[in-house]
Amino acid sequence: MKITIVDYNSGNISSVINSFKEVAQNKVNIVVTSDLKKIKSSDKVVLPGQGSFKSCVDALNNVSGLAESLNEFAINNKKPLLGICVGLQMFADIGYEETETKGLGWISGKVSKIDNKDGKYKLPHIGWNQINIVKESKIFKNIKNNSHMYFVHSYEFIPNDKSVISSTTDYSTNIVCSAEKENLFGTQFHPEKSDKLGLQIIENFINL
């Protein structure tokens, strides 16, 4: 099995790569690339994202044909894809960080700034927080409800269809911290920074 982590210059993804390699332990071929042919021939794809929504979308669009190849992989061919942090946010139709920016449009919705209740809640939302699992998800196998995951974000994904939400966290409001729609999986938290439970989520994705 070949899993590709998409490297499109969207910030430091070394911890994502290291976590996947640690879990895969040479049983699974982990490839890090933005090569379209290699992405298309993969069994699964991981789409990380660090920084702002706009900077990640711009970086993705700077690689000619990458958005189309990911669309073909995930939407046409229905192969498993995991979006992490801004990688999940880019599933949305539109994001409002820096300026209005078009997303990939895979899960209808928007990405807006977290309502910090006039400064009562610090932004970015950084650190460990409990997740409330609201629907059974394949990537939450062996993960107990109210487990702690690691977050770093100021913006949140708000899907139109609430049935795609697989977990939330309480930070000023109920924030979506993971979504699942058919072959699309996304986490707002960073599994690669969430210790053993995060590695379990990565393992669950590898084992899908």
What integer is the mean pLDDT of 91-103? 97
The domain locations on the chain are: 2-206
Q: How much of the chain, in percent, has pLDDT values that exceed 70?
A: 100
Please identify every residue annotated as catalytic: 85, 190, 192
Domain 2-206 has CATH 3.40.50.880: yes
Residue the block writes with tokens 């062996």: 142
Q: Give the burial string for 141-157 (b: 16+ CB within 10 Å, else e).
A: eebeeebbbbbebebbb
What's phi and psi for 5, nearest 5 deg? -95, 120
pLDDT at 135 over 90: yes
Residue the block writes with tokens 């499109």: 8
Q: How many residues does the chain have?
A: 208
Label residue 26 by pLDDT band (50, 70, 90). Answer: confident
Q: If phi over 0 gives left and psi between -120 and 50 gives alpha, with beta otherwise, what is residue 99?
A: beta
Q: What is the token pair recorded at 86? A: 């801004």
Q: Are 9 and 50 in contact (CB under 8 A)?
A: no
Tell how far CA 141 is from the center of its chain: 17
pLDDT at 11 over 90: no
What integer is the mean pLDDT of 63-80? 98
pLDDT of residue 37: 97
Distances (CA, A) of 83 to 57, 74, 171, 199: 13, 11, 21, 15
Other residues' Cβ atoms within 10 Å of the Cβ of residue 173: 14
